[in-house]
Amino acid sequence: MSTHQTRTEPAAAVAPGRTPTSLTQGTGGLTKGGIGESTLRPDGILKVTGEFAYSSDLWHEDMLWGYTLRSTVAHATIASIDTSEALATSGVYAVLTYDDLPTEVKHYGLEIRDTPVLAHGKVRHHGEPVALVAADHPETARRAAAKIRVEYEDLPVVTDEASATGPGAVLVHEGRDDHHSGHVPHPNIVHRQPIVRGDAAAAAARADVVVTGDYVFGMQDQAFLGPESGLAVPAEDGGVDLYVATQWLHSDLRQIAPVLGLPEKKVRMTLSGVGGAFGGREDLSMQIHGCLLALRTGKPVKIVYNRFESFFGHVHRHPATLHYEHGATRDGKLTHVRCRIVLDGGAYASASPAVVGNAASLSIGPYVVEDVDIEAIALYTNNPPCGAMRGFGAVQACFAYEAQMDRVAAELGMDPVEFRQINAMEQGTVMPTGQVVDSPAPVAELLRRVKARPLPPERQWETTEGADVRALPGGLSNTTHGEGVVRGVGYAVGIKNVGFSEGFDDYSTARVRMEVVGGEAVATVHTAMAEVGQGGVTVHAQIARSELGVTQVTIAPADTQVGSAGSTSASRQTYMTGGAVKNTCEAVREKVLDIGRRRFGTYHPAWATAELLLENGRVVTDGGEALADLADVLDGEVVDLELEFRHRPTQAFDLRTGQGNGHVQYSFAAHRAVVEVDTELGLVKVVELACAQDVGKALNPLSVVGQIQGGTTQGLGVAVMEEIVVDPVTAKVRNPSFTDYLIPTILDTPTIPVDVLELADAHAPYGLRGVGEAPTLSATPAVLAAIRQATGLELNRTPVRPEHLTGS
Partner 1 sequence: MDFLRPASWQEALAAKAEHPSAVPIAGGTDVMVEINFDHRRPAYLLDLNRVGELAEWETAGDIVRLGASVPYTRIMEHLRRELPGLALAAHTVASPQIRNRGGVGGNLGTASPAGDAHPALLAGGGEVEAVSVRGTRMIPIDDFYLGVKRNALAPDELIRAVHLRKATGPQQFSKVGTRNAMVIAVCAFGIALHPDRRTVRTGIGSAAPTPIRATAAEEFLTAALDEGGLWDNGKPVPPAVARQFADLVAAAANPIDDVRGTASYRRHALAVMARRTLGWTWEQYRGEQQEERNQPCA
Q: Which chain residues interact with partner 1 by CB under 8 A? A: 142, 306, 308, 473-481, 483-484, 680-683, 685, 720-721, 725, 734-735, 737, 739-740, 742, 744-748, 801-803, 806, 808
Of 338 and 685, CB closest to partner 1:
685
Of 635 and 803, CB closest to partner 1:
803
Of 537 and 800, CB closest to partner 1:
800
What one-character-per-residue DSSP string does 48-116 give?
A: HTT-S-BGGG---TT-EEEEEEE-SSSSEEEEEEE-HHHHTSTTEEEEE-GGG--SS--EE-SSS--EE
Of 311 and 380, CB closest to partner 1:
311
What one-character-per-residue DSSP string does 216-255 give?
A: EE-B-----SS-SEEEEEE-TTS-EEEEE--SBHHHHHHH
Angle separating helix axes 573-600 and 536-548, nearest 10 degrees? 30
Of 194 and 475, CB closest to partner 1:
475
Which DSSP symbol is given to 262?
-
Residue type for 161, please?
E
- Residue 696 CB, nearest approach to partner 1 (Å): 35
Of 88 and 747, CB closest to partner 1:
747
Of 72 and 306, CB closest to partner 1:
306
Helix, strand and coil content of the chain, in percent to the nearest 5, comes to 25, 25, 45
- Residue 218 CB, nearest approach to partner 1 (Å): 13
- Residue 722 CB, nearest approach to partner 1 (Å): 10
Of 77 and 477, CB closest to partner 1:
477
Of 194 and 456, CB closest to partner 1:
456
Q: How far apart, in whole angstroms, are the C-alpha atoms of residue 462 and residue 476?
A: 15
How many other CB atoms are found less than 10 A from the CB of residue 389?
30
- Which residues touch 267 (CB under 8 Å, ≥6 apart)? 239, 240, 242, 253, 256, 257, 260, 291, 560
Of 609 and 739, CB closest to partner 1:
739
Distances (CA, A) of 195 to 37, 350, 364, 372: 42, 23, 11, 7
Of 31 and 730, CB closest to partner 1:
730
Distances (CA, A) of 272 to 429, 532, 535: 43, 10, 15
- Residue 472 CB, nearest approach to partner 1 (Å): 9
- Residue 774 CB, nearest approach to partner 1 (Å): 25
Q: How far apart, in whole angstroms, are the C-alpha atoms of residue 41 and residue 18?
A: 20
- Residue 84 CB, nearest approach to partner 1 (Å): 23
- Residue 67 CB, nearest approach to partner 1 (Å): 12
- Which residues touch 168 (CB under 8 Å, ≥6 apart)? none
Q: Strands of 618-621's sheet, edge to edge?
A: 612-615, 618-621, 626-629
- Residue 65 CB, nearest approach to partner 1 (Å): 15
Q: How far apart, in whole angstroms, are the C-alpha atoms of residue 717 and residue 731?
A: 23
Length of the chain: 808
Of 478 and 751, CB closest to partner 1:
478
- Residue 799 CB, nearest approach to partner 1 (Å): 9
At 638, give phi and psi (nearest 5°).
-120, 130
Give the H/E segment covering residue 621: strand 618-621
- Residue 683 CB, nearest approach to partner 1 (Å): 7
Find out whether the peptide bond into 20 is cis, omega within 30 degrees of 0: no
Largest CA-CA distance found in the chain, in angstroms, rounded:
86
- Residue 477 CB, nearest approach to partner 1 (Å): 4
- Residue 192 CB, nearest approach to partner 1 (Å): 33
Q: How far apart, in whole angstroms, are the C-alpha atoms of residue 545 and residue 522?
A: 9
- Residue 802 CB, nearest approach to partner 1 (Å): 6
Half-sphere exposure for 129 (CA within 13 Å, toward CB): 29
How many other CB atoms are found less than 10 A from the CB of residue 561?
14
Cα first-last separation, the chain: 57
How many other CB atoms are found less than 10 A from the CB of residue 291?
27
Of 72 and 479, CB closest to partner 1:
479
- Residue 385 CB, nearest approach to partner 1 (Å): 21
- Residue 43 CB, nearest approach to partner 1 (Å): 24
Phi-psi region of 290 (alpha: psi -120 to 50; beta: other; left: phi over 0): alpha
Of 333 and 801, CB closest to partner 1:
801
- Residue 311 CB, nearest approach to partner 1 (Å): 12
Of 181 and 806, CB closest to partner 1:
806
What one-character-per-residue DSSP string does 387-417 give?
A: E--TTTTHHHHHHHHHHHHHHHHHHHT--HH
At 76, give phi and psi (nearest 5°).
-160, 155
Of 67 and 380, CB closest to partner 1:
67
